[in-house]
Amino acid sequence: MKIDVLTLFPGMFAGPLDESIIKRARDAGLLELQLHQLRDWTHDRHKTVDDRPFGGGPGMLLKPEPIFEAVESLRREKTRVVLMSPSGRKFNQSIARELAQQEHLLLVTGHYEGFDERIREALADDELSIGDYVLTNGALPAMVVIDAVTRLLPGVLGDDTSSSEESFSAGGPGLEYPQYTRPAEFRGMKVPEVLVSGNHAEIAKWRAEQARLRTKEKRPDLV
């Protein structure tokens, strides 16, 4: 998969996307990630990307010209242009799965008070929010989307089943069951008997029940 990101802060992406699983996915060619500085599509001496909102009001808006030019030069036939914005649909695991099917994503990140509305109307195929709070710019939201999508790409996680057994995936939108590793007893806390029984049918039953109880207790909205 190819992901292009349009941003005013390419430096913010160094680190989170250069470590661990995402780094390995990039090194293996499973994810081709390219960061683009929005100011490269400006034509004035100050590389201006923002302007005051018509009608007044606080702050500055990203003006249309540089973003239109950038998207038009980066977009290909099968590109999904995704605007990062608190007004978008709320990002979740099922949207991550949907995006992981795409050939090419172009993530357009905002700053200041956000985008001139014509950018939203004419360029965006999708608009995503990572939650009901406001961040200073769209770099962190874009990184969240890139991380969640990349780990779903075939071959990225070592064990192909490991992303289908976890929260929001295993047969529904619920949470994952509790998990334990060695030692079987730690500071007086014992691993549930059934998990060391070797009875796989009983273990599966216990896990399904625990996942159901945990979801009901912690995230009743998902039940």
Nearer to ligand SAM, 138 or 174 (CB): 138
Site string for ligand SAM, 173-212 (x = CB under 6 A): ----------------------------------------
Distance (Å, whole) CA 103 – CA 7:
20
Identified binder of ligand SAM from the candidate list 130, 148, 156, 211, rule CB under 6 A? 130
Identified binder of ligand SAM from the candidate list 7, 85, 150, 163, rule CB under 6 A? 85
Stretch that binds ligand SAM, among 45-53, 136-144, 173-181, 184-192 (CB under 6 A): 136-144
Identified binder of ligand SAM from the candidate list 15, 46, 134, 181, rule CB under 6 A? 134
Nearer to ligand SAM, 10 or 178 (CB): 10
Amino acid at 83: L
Identified binder of ligand SAM from the candidate list 69, 98, 113, 165, rule CB under 6 A? 113
Rule CB under 6 A: is residue 60 a binding residue for ligand SAM? no
Nearer to ligand SAM, 115 or 206 (CB): 115
Stretch that binds ligand SAM, among 1-9, 64-72, 110-118, 169-177 (CB under 6 A): 110-118
DSSP letter for each residue of 149-198: HHTTSTTSSSSTTTTTSSTTTSSSS-PPPP---S-SEETTEEPPGGGGS-
Stretch that binds ligand SAM, among 92-100, 106-114, 151-159, 173-181 (CB under 6 A): 106-114
- Enumerate binding residues for ligand SAM (CB under 6 A): 84-87, 109-111, 113-115, 129-131, 133-138, 141
